[in-house]
Amino acid sequence: MKKIVLLFAAFAIIVLLASLSKNANHPIVAEEMTVAGVLAELGDEPLPHLPDMNVPGVSAVVGKDLVLEGRTSLPGGGKSTRISQHFVCTACHNVERDEPDPGVVDPMARLKYDSEMGLPFVQGSALYGIVNRTNFYNGDYYKKYGTLVEPTRHNLREAIQLCATQCSQGRLLEAWELESILAYLWTIDLKIYDLNLSPEERLSINRALQGKENAAQTIALVKSKYLPGMPATFVDPPQDRQTGFSSTGNVETGKMIYELSCLHCHENKRFSFLDLDNSKLSFEFLGRHFPTYSRYSAYQVARYGTQPIPWKRAYMPQYTKEKMTEQMLEDLRAYIESRVNS
């Protein structure tokens, strides 16, 4: 009898050890976990732009209103003053992830992804995941805003204020508005499923969370899967606008650009004074001006944008090299010319 008890106890221990071994390899990191949460568990330093929820009136719901509508309902009734009379954040920024890999800059891959997801192809980087970044108004934006970009380069609060006053031609945000926007942006931060992680890398993260691998190296691994800031390079239109950058263009790609970019702002004058649609008149207008050196040339406005003036503050931001390639401009031209000739 004693031997039977001992054998049973030994068997139970073996089963328990096997169970523990199995659980040790079971994934701890879940797809829906936030990247910031995983980094915090690994001991990374918290990001400096967590919202101050102690400011009266702050909430993520209010922040969402401000981002999507440019204003919100006030507790005592009525609406807050619009941040801008000309734009809302989603004129130039998506609030959904808008590229297939947050660690790679690829304008063409981004366009295809936006088309598949039904998102506009806009000049600005997505607000989705912006709280995971540490660098803002990077690269050539100093050419446009000068010393105004200096306080924003590593400060998301300052970057939001610059966007409100300069990019959207609006006003400074009050403290409750700014902190509410941050609160909302933290609801659309990067999740583990957004990162291009291999099975081996996921296992490595799990082991680090269990204290079985180097935490600092794992933090570096996670951060290598998304960009700390979006590069921005201002480039010129073609020197010869008759010949353009290339003699060939992909009509289908151009169609995506026209529908997801041009019409996003210009259809029914949503964010512009120029009205465009799918009529032959619109395509003839664009086709006629494409090879010119005027402010109506798509080459001109795509690369240089337009400037706000006192009686017309709405303007068009330019597409940087990282947001639209030279070939994509030729694709747009090919599509417009195909519609003119159809």
CB half-sphere exposure, 17, CA atoms < 13 A: 6
Could you say which DSSP state residue 268 is in?
G
Q: Does domain 60-190 have CATH number 1.10.3470?
A: no
Q: How much is the pLDDT for 259?
A: 98
Distance separating alpha carbons of residues 73 and 150, to the nearest angstrom: 33
Q: Which is nearest to 123 in space by CA: 318, 259, 339, 299?
A: 318
Q: What is the pLDDT of residue 11?
A: 44
CB–CB of 16/8 below 8 Å?
Answer: no
Residues 6 or more apart whose Cβ sits within 8 Å of residue 313: 85, 86, 169
User: CATH number of the domain at 251-340, out of 1.10.760, 3.10.450, 3.30.1360, 3.30.450?
Assistant: 1.10.760
Look up tokens 């040339």; give the residue.
297
Write out residues in the chain with pLDDT < 70, as ranges: 1-27, 311
Whether 60-190 shares its CATH topology with 251-340 is answered yes
Widest CA span in the chain: 99
Report domain extents, the chain.
60-190, 251-340
Question: pLDDT at position 20, please?
Answer: 40
